[in-house]
Chains A and B, each alone.
Chain A
Amino acid sequence: MTYKEKLRSGEFVVTADIIPPKGTAVYKTLKGIEVLKGKVDAINVGDMPGANMRMGSLAVCLKIKEMGIEPIMQITCRDRNRISLQSEMLSSYALGVRNILCLRGDEATDSDNPDTKPVFDLDTIQLLAAARNLEKGFDMGGKRLDGMPSFCLGAALDPGALTPQEEIKKARLKSEAGAEFLQTQPIFEVDSYARFLERVAFLEIPILAGVFVLKSAASARFMNKNIPGVYVPDAIIQELEKGDTERRSLEITIKLIRALSNISSGIHIMMTTPWHDRIPFILNEAEIAGRTVRPAGDRG
């Protein structure tokens, strides 16, 4: 079953992510995810997260597809205008990459190419709409296409947004524009996430809870300081400070996934590089491996 079919059938879905290499050494990146074949439903390929220059998402998606793993191509509005964005989406379909996650993209000012000119010709809602318009056989200029694509489209959701009302409104617009699933920012507080989910239940599309594998107390503190909308509770940071960090990190992740799997349509495991080989263990311990049915009460 494809990722799209799984989303539609109501199966519990598990995705992970990779960050393309900064350079041509893609072989190593691919080697790292071999262990995920058959363990996750799809892998997100980042489009220069943090606006740090890396190999193109589409090229890496093709490589992953060759390995027999289903890719989800991330595409941001930061680096391409509407000509290039539509061109890229037609291309991804023609080359067999059907899952696209539409994102705004991080600002480039603090990136490794800080002088980059931000494009933002379209926003994510317009990008989703443009993709759906391509499916109907037209480009944004209203010109008819010679062969039309068919996508599985996703977008991001930030449950920790400072203005949740705004975020919920945006999520509704994304869903109306064509998002078939949403992926959240990292979740660490399950109770407040559960309450947020109730507020977006009306969307009736699967929401994948973001699970960030914290590799150290320092990275937790970094996130609290630098990533708006993400809050790692003190209890977790204290736990990580006790030493034996890897074991504790995996335990925290497993506990989180167990709790999230009771309230979510699926999970998206983030920032796993270079810990891809721990994912099968995590999924096993969290009793996710082989899970097909979504929990009762999930209306996604």
Chain B
Amino acid sequence: MALKDVLKSGRFVITTDFLPPKGTNIREELKILHSLKGRVHGVNAADNQSAIMSLSSLAASYLIKEEGLEPILQMVCRDRNRLALQSDLLGAYALGIENVLVLSGDHQSLGDHPGAKGVFDIESVQLLGVARELERGTDMSGNKLKGSPCFCLGAAVNPSSIPLEPQIIKMEKKVAAGANFFQTQPIFDIEAFADFMEQTRHLSVPVLAGVFLIKSAKMAHFMNKNISGVTIPKFIIDEFEKSTDPVNTSIDIAARLIRALRDLSEGVHIYTIHWEDKVPLVLDRAGL
């Protein structure tokens, strides 16, 4: 089923992510997604995640679709100007890719090409609006199109942001610009997330809560130190430190989070960072 239909159906929506390789060996890596068939409703193809140069999200989405899964094309505003962004949106649609997740993109100084020029010709709210304009049959400058696309558009939100108010204002703008759904940053604090959902109830757009597969105590410490807006609570880190089977602990924690999030959000987005094959185990344990 197309993601847009799942979103409308009221079912609990499950998406996950795929990081395209840094190189051309993608077909081998796509095999890891086989176990996800029938278990998830969409797979995000990351767009040069963390400004690390990789195979493009468009190519990855095309191949994910060939594998029989529903791709979600991520598009960041860091590397392409408005011409290329619009051009690639049309290209994606022509290749049968209809789900697009619009993001600002991490600053290039964080990646492996720190000397790259940050383009940022338009930002994520504008890009959502542009995609909707293309649907209406004109480009960003109002020129008429021959044949218009049709997208299911997603955007990102960080419910752990402090203060929360600016995030909600941005989220409102994204909804107004055309976002059909949201994927959140990783959630660890269920109560804070419940509060966020309460505060954004008026938007009535499906929110997929981010569930991150932590791999080790070391990774948790790293994230707390380096990723703004993400705080992994001490009790989770303690669990890893006591664990003799970190994979099992990771699956356990993710499944527990999903059980708690099930009654709060319309779905979950599972961040795997190359642990795509653990997703079915997480879902099994979460009772999904």
Contacts and interface: CB of A to CB of B under 8 A. Distances in A.
B: contact size bracket = 35 or more
Interface stretch (A141-149, A175-183, A193-201, A230-238): A141-149
A166 B82 CA distance: 32
A256 B21 CA distance: 47
A94 B92 contact: no
Interface stretch (B4-12, B73-81, B203-211): B73-81
Determine chain A's interface SS by DSSP, over half rule. Answer: loop
B288 interface: no
Interface in A206-222: none
Contacts of A92: 59
Contact of A24 (B81, B84, B94, B141): B94
Contact of B22 (A21, A51, A93, A143): A143
B165 interface: no
Interface residues of A, number: 56
B88 A114 contact: no
A24 B117 contact: no
B93 interface: yes
Q: With a 10 A CB-CB cut-off, give which of B23, B88, B112 has the most chain A CB atoms.
A: B23
Nearest to B21: A146
B166 interface: no
Determine chain B's interface SS by DSSP, over half rule. Answer: loop
A87 B55 contact: yes
A69 B146 CA distance: 24
B140 A113 contact: yes
A295 interface: no
Interface in A66-105: 78-84, 86-88, 90-95
Interface stretch (B31-39, B46-54, B156-164, B221-229): B46-54
Interface string B135-157: 00101110111111100000000
A87 B54 contact: yes
A122 B179 CA distance: 33
B81 A149 contact: no
B21 to A, nearest CB: 5
Interface stretch (A36-44, A55-63, A244-252, A278-286): A55-63
Interface string B172-209: 00000000000000000000000000000000000000
30 contacts: A22-B143, A24-B147, A24-B148, A25-B147, A53-B82, A59-B94, A59-B95, A79-B80, A80-B80, A81-B80, A81-B108, A82-B116, A83-B48, A83-B78, A83-B79, A84-B84, A86-B53, A91-B58, A112-B141, A113-B139, A114-B141, A115-B82, A115-B141, A119-B81, A121-B116, A139-B113, A143-B112, A147-B21, A147-B26, A149-B24
